[in-house]
Amino acid sequence: MKHHTVTESPYGPLTLVADGGALCGLYMVGQRHRPPEETFGVRDDDTLFDETTRQLAAYFEGGLKEFDLPLRLDGTPFQCGVWEQLRKIPYGETRSYGELAGTLGNLGASRAVGLANGKNPIGIIVPCHRVVGANGSLTGYGGGLDRKQRLLDFESGAALF
């Protein structure tokens, strides 16, 4: 059974969704591909999300570089492969869509990687914001390019909240 809560962040409210003890969603207000609210399950502001909110707070304070949470990423095998590669991009670094396609063994799959990246259900924690165009340009982000730039600036040390 799914449960959700809403927590504040420097990017506005974040909706956290869990199912079976694992985080299965982190959605920003106005996010593209955000599922309908009624799919988030009952609201639970008690202890279910304590560790997730603690780690998010530590991340936003600059003290946490890698999340350690039980995650459940539901998608196609290709999407799950892309999302697993996203988790391997180190804090403060970026990769291009083509580089990710190469790690999956298909250099021609850049667009498919971009589509899977855009449907990442656990933003920030599964760092889809760390993927940029081949020339380093900002391209697409479900949470908006302004948020993507702010996250990249934050992780590079160029900006603090």
Give the separation between CA 81 and CA 104, rounded to whole angstroms: 7
Q: Which of 28, 101, 122, 128 is catalytic?
A: 128
The ranges of the chain annotated as CATH 1.10.10.10 are 77-156
Read off the pTM. Answer: 0.90
pLDDT tens track for 46-80 = 777 999 999 999 999 999 999 999 999 999 999 99
Is 128 noted as a catalytic residue in this protein?
Answer: yes
Task: Domain 2-60: give its CATH architecture.
Answer: 2-Layer Sandwich (3.30)
Burial of 12 (0-12, 13-18, 19+ CB in 10 A): exposed
Residue in the block written with tokens 């869990």: 18
What are the pLDDT digits (tens) for 113-136?
Answer: 999 999 999 999 999 999 998 887
Residues of the chain within CATH 3.30.160.70 domain(s) are 2-60
- Class of domain 77-156 as given by CATH: mainly alpha
Q: How far apart are CA 81 and CA 77, in angstroms?
A: 6
More confident residue, 160 or 84: 84
